[in-house]
Amino acid sequence: MTPTTDTKEQIISVAERLFAERGFAGTTLRSVVSEAGVNLAAVHYHFGSKEELFRAVVVRLARPIVERELTLLEELRQEHEVPSIEAILTALLKPNLEILAQDKETLVIRAQFMGRCRTEPEPIQSIAAKEFAASTEAFLDMLQRVLPEQSRSQLYWKFDLVIAALIRVQAEAGQPFALLRGIEPADVETATEQLVKFLAPGMRS
Amino acid sequence: MTPTTDTKEQIISVAERLFAERGFAGTTLRSVVSEAGVNLAAVHYHFGSKEELFRAVVVRLARPIVERELTLLEELRQEHEVPSIEAILTALLKPNLEILAQDKETLVIRAQFMGRCRTEPEPIQSIAAKEFAASTEAFLDMLQRVLPEQSRSQLYWKFDLVIAALIRVQAEAGQPFALLRGIEPADVETATEQLVKFLAPGMRS
DNA sequence: TTATAATTAAAACGTACGTTTGAATAAATC
DNA sequence: GATTTATTCAAACGTACGTTTTAATTATAA
């Protein structure tokens, strides 16, 4: 019998890829377990349902991102009374790109999954949104402080567009014309800078 | 027997809404025909398959957009040797928002559908991408002319981000904090301007 | 009016899905 | 080693899906 943590992680890893490629509804549990080399009932034993499996995949990827984002934001807050827009956006975006770049093998899969889970039909989309809620709120608050002349409404849709851009960069990661092409630290640095350079002027306008 | 054009249009209209809400895989033909008040076989008679139904929905919405975009672009080309980035982006984005604003009833549905079809798993996403291919190419060419110092690669991902922003604006249309909140011509005008104002500086940078 | 074509209806085909069940096996605990 | 708990297995449950088939009905053409 395969060790437990391997079974669970195997299922999550295969599910991550298939959910990314086919979406939630288009991915069958039978295809997941077939590729993971485990039994169909294992999904229900370990995760309880297809939806909880999806949640497990989201959590594995999103938690470290959100933690890192919040840590960077806190550091910003302590270093500067009024951080720059560029610094805030970097704190927001970089963890998202860094995590993708951990492994060439999983770069595209993770990127696609990140994009996928934010565009899924409900109730799946909410699963991901909840995981990012703390980060969303913290960054909106910081932006409001830095840009007090903008209405909350304005900040809201601009923030939304920043996230949309991030999703797109993730979705295209690893492609020939993509902003994030590789997994070197320099690749992440460049991609983050260029994305911030694209978005910051619009945030201020 | 209901007249043919009504049956077909009814099916397309219901399908548009359900595909938007649930995605391609999450929408069943039985739910579509049930709400359209027609028979299941009608889908196959009129469209041949579920995928062709999806295509029919895309075509109904995308064709007029692309035509309008290309028309505006041609007008721009004839009026200016070197059009401004703002004018180009307006020509690109405004038809997409205008068509949503034709009817308060369908604003959110159409917006969601537009966003949905660009984020679907393959092979569905390609169906929509093909419909926009002519427009994509024409605008990239124009941008390249106006920004000759930028590489094609750079223009490509920036254009991609513009489209991502558009998708997001569409997806949020009609919501309280949305950029496009209503269907008056002034609403479209404002939304287009603000979106262009957000994106143009980044295009130039 | 009759014949032909178009459209709709209902049932069925062939296949598939997430979830549940009960048994078997493996691992952990005493 | 015996017992308990955890995990895996295979089959089945209850339901559903897109597509196909055949017949009936309606619309159009001659």
Q: What are A148-178's pLDDT values in tens digits?
A: 999 998 999 999 999 999 989 988 888 878 8
> Do the Cβ atoms of A121 and B177 come within 8 Å?
no
Q: What would the mean pLDDT of B37-65 be, rounded to a whole number?
A: 95
Topology classification of domain B61-204: Tetracycline Repressor; domain 2 (1.10.357)
Instruction: Say whether the ipTM exceeds 0.85.
Output: yes
pLDDT at A184 over 90: no
CB neighbours of residue A130 within 10 Å: 13
What b-and-e string marks burial along B113-147, b requiring 16 or more CB atoms within 10 Å of the CB? bbbbbbbbbeebeebbeebbeebbebbeebbbebb
The pLDDT of residue A141 is above 60: yes
What pLDDT is stored for residue A5 in this prediction?
Answer: 65
CB A142 within 8 A of CB A73: yes
Q: For residue B167, give every residue at least 6 positions away whose Cβ sits within 8 Å of its Cβ, in sequence order, or none.
A: A164, B114, B115, B118, B119
pLDDT at B174: 81
Q: Which residues touch strand D (CB under 7 A)?
A: A 1-2, 4, 7, 38-42, 45-46; B 1, 3, 27-31, 40-41, 43-44, 49-51
The pLDDT tens digits for A103-114 are 888 888 888 898
Please name which of A15, A56, A179, A2 lies closest in space to residue B161, comparing C-alpha atoms: A179
Work out the number of other CB atoms within 10 angstroms of the CB of residue A181.
17
Domain-wise residue ranges, chain B? 61-204
What percent of chain A has a predicted confidence (pLDDT) above 90? Answer: 74
pTM (predicted TM-score): 0.91
pLDDT tens digits for range B114-137: 888 888 998 999 999 999 999 999
CATH of A58-204, one of 1.10.10.410, 1.10.357.10, 2.40.40.20, 1.20.1740.10: 1.10.357.10
Rounded Cα–Cα distance for residues A90 and A94 (Å) = 6
E strands in chain A? none
pLDDT of res. A93: 96
Rg (CA), chain A: 18
